[in-house]
Structure 1
Amino acid sequence: MVRPYAVTRGRTRPDGREFDLIALVVADIPADADPPVGPEPAAILDLCRGDALSVAEIAAEVDLPLGVVRVLLGDLLDAEYIRVSRPVPPALLPDEHILQEVIDGLRAL
C-alpha cells in the first residue's frame, strides 16, 4: 500500500485549479504522447477512456481519497491527457416553474 502523500509527491491541492465533484472528465490522450508514470494516473485514464465520469465517480472507482484524485487530475490536465467539463452554474439552469409548465403542457396533449 502506498501512502496518499507519496502518490501526490506531497502535494495536497492541484496546481491552479479546483475540480468540482460533479465535473466530468474524459480521457483525451494524443497519439504521440508518453503514457503517464504510475499506476494511479493510468487507472484514471483507463476509466475515462470510454465515457465521461465525474470526479466523485473516479475517486470511488480507483479507491483513492478525493484530494489525491484531484491532484492527479490536475497533473493529467496539465499534460493534456484529459478534458474536463465544468458543471453548469445553478443560475443558468431553467427555473423549476418553467419546467413544471412544460410538463403540464405535455400532459395536456
Structure 2
Amino acid sequence: MSEDDYEDHPVRPYVMTAGRAHPSRNTVRPETLFLADPGARLPLTAGSQQRALVSLCRGVLSLAELAAHLGLPVSLVAVLVSDLVDTGNLVVRSAPGRARPDRDALEKVLDALRNL
C-alpha cells in the first residue's frame, strides 16, 4: 500500500487484526459466503471494520465482495470475518449446489460426437 492508500485507512492493517496475519479458520477463501446472525450481539471490543462487516452481511456476500466494499485486502478481511464467525456474529454459508447435467443428454452428446 502506498501512503495515499493510508489516507482512507489511517489504521495500519496489523492493528486491525491485533498483529495476526492468518485467519483462525483455514477454510476461508475469496468465494466463501457470509451472512450475519441477526440474534448475535457484537462484542464491545468490536472495531468499526467489524461493525461494517456485520452490517454488510445482512445479505449474503462473499469474502471478496466484503473486501471490495471496505477497500481492504482480502487477507485482512479474512482475519476479521474469521473472528466474527468465531464469536457467532457471522455464519458461513455454502455456495448453492450445482445442478448435475442430465445423463441422457450427456449420452446423446457423446453419441453425436462419436458419429462425427
Q: How far apart, in 2, do the equivalents of 1:20 and 1:34 lie?
A: 23
Which 5+ residue runs of structure 2 have no aligned equivalent?
1-9, 107-116
Aligned match of 2:48: 39
RMSD: 2.8
C-alpha displacement at 1:22, in angstroms? 1.3
Q: Is the 8 A contact 1:28 1:80 kept in 2?
A: yes
Aligned partners of 1:88 and 1:26: how far apart in 2?
14
Counterparts of 1:14 and 1:53 in 2: how far apart (Å)? 18
Based on CA coordinates, which of the two structures has the bigger radius of gyration? Answer: 2
- TM-score, normalised via structure 2 length: 0.70
Count residues with an aligned counterpart. Answer: 97
**Percent of matched pairs sharing the same residue:** 35
> What is the TM-score normalised by the length of structure 1?
0.74
Match of 1:69 among 77, 81, 85: 77
Structure-1 separation of matches of 2:84 and 2:38: 10
* Partner amino acid, structure 1, of 2:79: V
Q: Which runs of 5+ in 1 are unaligned?
A: 103-109
Residue 30 of structure 1 deviates from its aligned partner by 2.4
